[in-house]
Amino acid sequence: MRLTVRPLLRPLVRSLPEPMQPWAVRRLEAIREGLVWPIPLAMYARSALDGEGSRFVLGGRRHRYLWHPYMATWRTERAVEVPVVWDRVRSGDPASTLEIGNVLSHYFPAAHTVVDKYEQAPGVINEDAVDFDDGRRYDLIVSVSTLEHVGYDEQPKDAAKGLRAIEHLRELLTDSGELWFTVPKDWNPELDRHLAEGRIRGAERRCVKRISEDGRWEEVDCDELEEVRYDTPFPYANGVTFAVVRN
């Protein structure tokens, strides 16, 4: 593919599996935009002061949008995914928490175990989600916009691998453990279909839909995401499923 990122970053993008390169380019563009962040910061400050538009509701609980320069979260699904998942993580024991995909540590001081197949960072275990097993069982496993890429954006492509990853992660839970994960609508139709049809055993769903260009979201019935498309009409995800799997 033709790379539109700066020359110094092109080797990094090309080191990824080819199907993931467009996604990496978009994310690098978001990071670059995030470096110019006074305008969204001013928007956030105004919202916080007047009490309007700085929060969203999911399952009856109010969360503050995450507006952060890393990955320009005000433009993406990270604005809603990260606050919800982080609220759950910080209520648990870091020693018994596992994260698949290194996301939360970019926004908060994280002390839990993190597994990410590709991202190299201090403390991150580089292992495939379907293979990881350190012999421990976790009270909480979380994953933010990661499982839809497992297998689907790898070579050779294996659309069912993400589902196998979910079942494998279930096996890493304690008897009362929970697996929390988020999925942007229309990135991985196979995973979307399994969630919509209730074919992921024990999964409970809540869904949100983006409703404005300035990054506002609202909770909707999950059936309303059926016609939602990625990148349309707004950039990045226009719908997100929050799933919780319990043993």
Domain definitions of the chain by residue range: 76-246
Q: What average pLDDT does range 208-213 have in this prediction?
A: 94
Residue 200 pLDDT exceeds 70: yes
The domain over range 76-246 is classified in CATH as 3.10.450: no
pTM value is: 0.82
Q: How does strand 173-184 pair with strand 138-143? A: parallel
pLDDT digits (tens, 9 = 90+) for 139-169: 999 999 999 999 999 989 998 999 999 999 9
- Token readout for 189 is 């139709």
Q: Exposure string (b/e) for 146-163, b if CB count within 10 Å is 16 or more?
A: bbbbbbbbbeeeeeebbb
* CA angle in degrees (0–180, nearest 5) for 141-146-147: 75
Q: Is the dihedral of CA 86, 222, 100, 82 positive or negative?
A: negative
Residue % of the chain over a pLDDT of 70: 79
More confident residue, 187 or 19: 187
Q: How far is CA 6 from CA 25, 31, 218, in A?
A: 10, 12, 36
- Token readout for 61 is 């609980």
* CA angle in degrees (0–180, nearest 5) for 52-56-62: 100
